[in-house]
Amino acid sequence: MRLWLFRWRVCFGVSTIPAAILALAMVFCAESPHWLYKQGRTAEAEVEFERLLGVSEAKFAISQLSKLVTGFFRYPKVIFYSRVRFAVVFIGSTLFALQQLSGINAVFYFSSTVFKSAGVPSDVANVCIGFANLTGSIISTVLMDKLGRKVLLFWSFFGMAISMIIQATGASSLLLNTGALYLSVGGMLMFVFTFALGAGPVPGLLLTEIFPSRIRAKAMAFCMSVHWVCNFLVGLLFLRLLEKLGPQLLYSMFATFCMMAVIFVKRNVVETKAKSLQEIEIALLPQD
């Protein structure tokens, strides 16, 4: 018992290390050139651009900011009242909602139960889930700027749908126990891996790129609220729904949400690869 309490405290204590590193690193973080420019501190904004992009790119970046600010003054209602603002916030909140309704946190919260039924100890289960998540995240980091955000999102949600179908098949009473357990465990690991490829890391990055700067903070706050509300509801209701509906129907529902996400990404998400924030914002403004 004492050993367990010690390990519990160590886990929480270790998490202070990256938090402290991040806090110290923020001292060396550059100030936002965009914010400085909007405050009328153009010279400081140019200095920060030179620090981030180099001298050769700083002048071009300042000119892009100038076009962007001019666009805001010419079309103020576009950002605050028109369909453009509604569209980008709708895309962001829907992506986060579908991310959670895919069942990812139900898998994270209750994966040890599935592994335990397969005879796998909980500590080994946690290592397997963590390894699948880490591997997918590393691959996503490599491919993010090569394939693009939209491609990763599309195939990530598609892979998650297939994984949930595999888990639903494993929950079928038509299969032998051994085969069902292999499908359940394999489908769960595949689900976590494909989630980490795109559906996990991409939405948070994509939304900061497509939100206009004037509404970025509030829009991100709203979308993150949607994210955590859906997270809370899935965690709260998963076991109750599992008891009432059974795993096969519940996993099929998660697979349906994943396919809805595939269709949504295909129709609504814009590609932002190799574009600066200013270029993306200018593209959202009406064209003359």
How far apart (Å, rounded) are the C-alpha atoms in residues 288 and 285? Answer: 9
What would the pLDDT profile of 47-96 be if each residue is shown by its tens digit?
Answer: 888 777 777 777 777 777 776 655 554 444 444 445 566 778 888 889 99
Query: pLDDT confidence of 258, banded at 50, 70, 90?
Result: very high
Confidence class for position 195, pLDDT limits 50, 70, 90: very high
69 Cα distance to chain centroid: 29
pLDDT of residue 192: 92
Q: At what angle do helices 104-117 and 177-194 cross, to 10 degrees?
A: 150
Calculate ∠ Cα 86-233-206, nearest 5°.
40
Give the tens place of pLDDT for each residue, 123-163: 777 788 888 889 999 999 888 888 888 889 999 999 999 99
Residue-level pLDDT at 194: 94
- Considering 31-35, 246-250, 282-286, the range whose residues carry the highest mean pLDDT is 246-250
Task: Indicate the burial class of 137 (C-beta count within 10 angstroms; 0-12, 13-18, 19 or more).
Answer: middle
- Comparison of pLDDT for 12 and 161, the residue scoring more: 161
pLDDT of residue 79: 43
Question: How far is the first Cα of the chain from the last one, in angstroms, to the nearest whole number?
Answer: 71
